[in-house]
Chain A
Amino acid sequence: MTRASLRAGCGGSLRVLAAALVATVLLGAGLRASPVMAAFELRDASPAALGAVSMDLESEPMFDAIGPRAGIRVGASHAALYQIEGLAQERAWIGVEGRRGSLSFACSRVGVEGATESSARLALRESRAQAVALELDAERLDLALDGEPREGGWAFGGWARARFSLSRLDIEVDVAADRVLRSNGLARLSVSPSVPVAIRLRSGGATAAWVDRWGGDGRRSPRIVLEMPIAGAARLRLGRGEAPERIGAALAVRLRRIEVSAGRIDQSDGGVVTGASVGLLPASSGGIR
């Protein structure tokens, strides 16, 4: 789809513009329109998200911070979407992690030349060590099309995380109110809320998780994610998701405080997303809680 055709299809309607961008991503790849992706739903294509088959959610770090010391986490990723030249997501993040919680900021950009979605996200998260931990999120989402005024708005949400401790097993249950408060600009762009739910079992550095995302339009997207350490300095994340069918894998290697990772998603209808990232981990990062 060309820039001219995009313009012609826009007609000034912002909702049509958003739909045009999504159509560019999906139809340009020669795919049927996937029910998973709507406006601003492709939010994280870093390897950690690809391994978790969860481009529609913020990814969990593959090397978690442990211990009481504070530290800074910073990194950047690049993902090539559906083997289309120029269609990519760039993402960068920085965060301060401490004993009681963390504050992080991430920004990303996805699209092709002349049609991009960009987002900036600020998250304030309590430490997972608490029995019930909370997280508050604020996002700025913008849609830019050549020749059209930039449109966007604010979205707010939150997470609640409950944690059980067994003898050698940790269980976490997460429920989120994702983008549940939105400004009018996002309502015009058809940005909808969702309720992601996750149940994670952690033991010995390995994690098994069942994750689902209930959308405001009734869609579900269940997935199972497994994560395990490899030789202490590397971690492997594998995922299998439905609606649409997809599998994902990611490998992260830690060299002192440097993390290098790569991952990919293969969809049942032929779409492939690959990504790589490099980052600086907090000094206390481990991967085994």
Chain B
Amino acid sequence: MGRIGNAFDIMRLRGRVATTWVRLGCAVALAIPAIGLASVGATSAADPDSVPAIGAESYWLPLPVEEIEAPESLDDPPGAAAGFTMRATIRAGRAAIRRVAASRMGRSLLVELSLLGEGAASQAGTISLRGIHSGLSVVGGRLGARGSGSLFLEAVGLSRRASRVPAARAEEPSLEAPSTAASPSIEGIGLERSQRPGARIPGVWTLVGRRVEDGAKVGALGIRGAFGHGSWGASAGALEGAPAGAIACELRSAAGAAACEMAFSREGPATLFSAESAPGPLRIRGRWRQRGAGMRRAACELSVDGGPRIAHAKLLVGGGPSGPIGAAGRAELECRLAFRGAGPINLRAGRSRTEGFSAASGATVREERYAVLDASIARSEGRGFSLLATRRARDSAGGTRLGSSLGGRIELTWRGRGRLEVLVEAARADLAGGAAWGSGLFAGGSTALRTRTKPGVAASTRGALRLGRWQLGGLVEGREDERGRRASAATIWIQRALPGVAH
């Protein structure tokens, strides 16, 4: 799962003030359930600005941070290739450089050097040599793998288990420097050669080294090829001597796409299958995963989305394991109203059920109803104002616990060079087990929902300024709980674009 900042890309601010009573009525109607004056529910929806391509993820509202596969990478500055990147944080009055990276592009070679500011110095550096025309890359030092099919990388310990079911993919992974010390990575060397367009020789990749967190030996080898309407891949490797392997295939046509990944490891065989119809008035997606171990091995996500031009709705139903022996199921409806010239109004309303077992309390069942609203109230030249509201109600044996939040976000842009986003939010939560969601901003431009179990006011400011090829950005946030304790943190990044690379 990648960045989810598409709904919060404030550089796209355009338009004029909304002037229709319909828009206001919808905003108020959507706000009422979200702030707890009525039961949770959604009644209408609207069309996204653009239809995502096959395989692309689209979220109109931020996801809970625990459902994001690599939240630590969200603080990285936006943009892939940069001549220079530096990210630093300030917490409790102490400043620390988290990552410094520099690149140099020659005629046929791109040389990148990355240094993490955390952990042992011997495990902090990564150097990569990438052939611009040859497609050959060599990465040494601390490296991670990203973007491949999920089952094989899980099996060899190079990615975390995600709760959401991802799409199956047959692409080779991208070997690169980890963005943070918390990212899954190995200390070793990797080699990859991508398949050239139209060539018969498949792409190949390999890596070998020791996992940074526990020193486990990791080795992997894979090939990937493409044909007329699809691609295939095969991978084999070992984690601390335990073999693992996977094959993947991806088929695309005008009517839709389907992909499958089958993997084996010491846990047993695992399968991931995904299919989706082509973009159109009605779009259907389905994903199914069967792991090799655990009491509850199967998980699935089914979604249907569609609607007229200004209103779009997406229904998502899913279920899967929760913890070692538990199970979780969810059904949610996401709606979007997007009138011409005005910002969108997005609502997500859903219900989840989590079953578990503990030695202390035996079998437990927890049901939760939730709603998240992000309503753009008005926009003018270079400015936007949105109302944010969330509500969660947890039902358990101890009763119903409530949590809610309410706030606003102001977005300012300056001549396409600078942008500033200020968010303030107050949260309430029953102290005996209630939880509210708050909006968590990340310095890289993304937003995610963070669970808050105590009442308080949180304020965050995020901005970026572009001066020629240089970009300076950052995030400052402060929170307060019911005891008046304040915690503040800041993240600053500096980036210099490579010549000829637009950001």
Contact B424 A218 (CB under 8 A): no
Contact B457 A195 (CB under 8 A): yes
Our pick among B384, B406, B459 for the contact of A180 (Cβ within 8 Å) is B459
If A187-B484, A187-B486 touch, whether A164 touches B19 (CB-CB below 8 Å) is yes
> How far is the CB of B478 from the nearest CB of chain A, in Å?
7
Contact B377 A173 (CB under 8 A): yes
Q: Which of A171, A195, A216, A218 has the most CB of B within 10 A?
A: A218
* A193 proximal to B (CB < 8 A): yes
**Could you tell me the distance between the alpha carbons of A192 and B407 in the complex, rounded to whole angstroms?**
16
If A171-B24, A197-B406 touch, whether A164 touches B426 (CB-CB below 8 Å) is no
Interface residues of B in 415-433 (CB under 8 A from A): 422, 424-429
Residues of the B chain whose Cβ atoms lie less than 8 Å from the Cβ of A187:
484, 486
* B18 proximal to A (CB < 8 A): yes
Interface residues of A in 78-105 (CB under 8 A from B): none
Contact B379 A131 (CB under 8 A): yes
Residues of the B chain whose Cβ atoms lie less than 8 Å from the Cβ of A124:
none
* A217 proximal to B (CB < 8 A): yes
Contact B383 A131 (CB under 8 A): yes
> How far is the CB of A39 from the nearest CB of chain B, in Å?
11
**Could you tell me the distance between the alpha carbons of A197 and B478 in the complex, rounded to whole angstroms?**
20
* A162 proximal to B (CB < 8 A): yes
> How far is the CB of A17 from the nearest CB of chain B, in Å?
16
Our pick among A130, A162, A193, A214 for the contact of B480 (Cβ within 8 Å) is A193
**Could you tell me the distance between the alpha carbons of A176 and B387 in the complex, rounded to whole angstroms?**
11
Our pick among A134, A164, A171, A195 for the contact of B407 (Cβ within 8 Å) is A195
**Could you tell me the distance between the alpha carbons of A160 and B377 in the complex, rounded to whole angstroms?**
11
Residues of the A chain whose Cβ atoms lie less than 8 Å from the Cβ of B384:
132
If A132-B383, A175-B408 touch, whether A217 touches B478 (CB-CB below 8 Å) is no
Contact A192 B455 (CB under 8 A): no
Binary contact track B256-300/A, C-beta < 8 Å → 1, others 0: 000000000000000000000000000000000000000000000
* A177 proximal to B (CB < 8 A): yes
* A190 proximal to B (CB < 8 A): yes
* A interface, size bucket: 35 or more
If A195-B457, A216-B484 touch, whether A134 touches B406 (CB-CB below 8 Å) is no
Binary contact track B1-42/A, C-beta < 8 Å → 1, others 0: 000000000000000111111011000100000000000000
**Could you tell me the distance between the alpha carbons of A163 and B383 in the complex, rounded to whole angstroms?**
12
- Dominant SS among interface residues on chain B: strand
Contact A164 B428 (CB under 8 A): no
Contact B17 A163 (CB under 8 A): yes
* B490 proximal to A (CB < 8 A): no
Our pick among B377, B380, B427, B484 for the contact of A192 (Cβ within 8 Å) is B484
Contact B480 A192 (CB under 8 A): yes
> How far is the CB of A140 from the nearest CB of chain B, in Å?
20
* B111 proximal to A (CB < 8 A): no
Contact A162 B426 (CB under 8 A): no
If A180-B424, A216-B456 touch, whether A175 touches B387 (CB-CB below 8 Å) is yes
Interface residues of B in 371-430 (CB under 8 A from A): 377-380, 383-385, 387, 406-408, 410, 422, 424-429
> How far is the CB of B21 from the nearest CB of chain A, in Å?
5
**Could you tell me the distance between the alpha carbons of A212 and B31 in the complex, rounded to whole angstroms?**
14
If A166-B24, A180-B424 touch, whether A214 touches B385 (CB-CB below 8 Å) is no
**Could you tell me the distance between the alpha carbons of A181 and B459 in the complex, rounded to whole angstroms?**
9
* B482 proximal to A (CB < 8 A): yes
Contact B21 A214 (CB under 8 A): no
Chain A, Cβ-Cβ closest to B405: A214
Contact A193 B19 (CB under 8 A): no
Binary contact track A158-198/B, C-beta < 8 Å → 1, others 0: 10111111100101010111001100000100101111010
**Could you tell me the distance between the alpha carbons of A180 and B481 in the complex, rounded to whole angstroms?**
13
Binary contact track A196-240/B, C-beta < 8 Å → 1, others 0: 010100000000000010111110100000000000000000000
Residues of the B chain whose Cβ atoms lie less than 8 Å from the Cβ of A217:
455-456, 482
Chain A, Cβ-Cβ closest to B429: A218
> How far is the CB of A125 from the nearest CB of chain B, in Å?
14
Residues of the B chain whose Cβ atoms lie less than 8 Å from the Cβ of A212:
406
Residues of the A chain whose Cβ atoms lie less than 8 Å from the Cβ of B18:
164
Residues of the A chain whose Cβ atoms lie less than 8 Å from the Cβ of B17:
131, 163-165
> How far is the CB of A43 from the nearest CB of chain B, in Å?
17
> How far is the CB of A262 from the nearest CB of chain B, in Å?
33
**Could you tell me the distance between the alpha carbons of A19 and B422 in the complex, rounded to whole angstroms?**
32
> How far is the CB of B482 from the nearest CB of chain A, in Å?
5
> How far is the CB of A67 from the nearest CB of chain B, in Å?
21
Our pick among B379, B406, B422, B455 for the contact of A216 (Cβ within 8 Å) is B455
Residues of the A chain whose Cβ atoms lie less than 8 Å from the Cβ of B377:
162, 164, 173
Contact B21 A215 (CB under 8 A): no
Residues of the A chain whose Cβ atoms lie less than 8 Å from the Cβ of B387:
173, 175
Interface residues of B in 473-503 (CB under 8 A from A): 478, 480-482, 484, 486
Residues of the B chain whose Cβ atoms lie less than 8 Å from the Cβ of A218:
427-429, 455-456, 482
Residues of the B chain whose Cβ atoms lie less than 8 Å from the Cβ of A131:
16-17, 378-380, 383
Interchain residue pairs with CB less than 8 A apart (5): A132-B379, A134-B410, A164-B23, A193-B459, A216-B481
Nearest 6 interchain pairs by C-beta: A218-B455, A175-B408, A214-B426, A162-B378, A195-B426, A131-B380
A-B contacts besides A132-B379, A175-B424, A193-B459, 4 pairs, CB < 8 Å: A131-B17, A165-B19, A173-B377, A180-B459
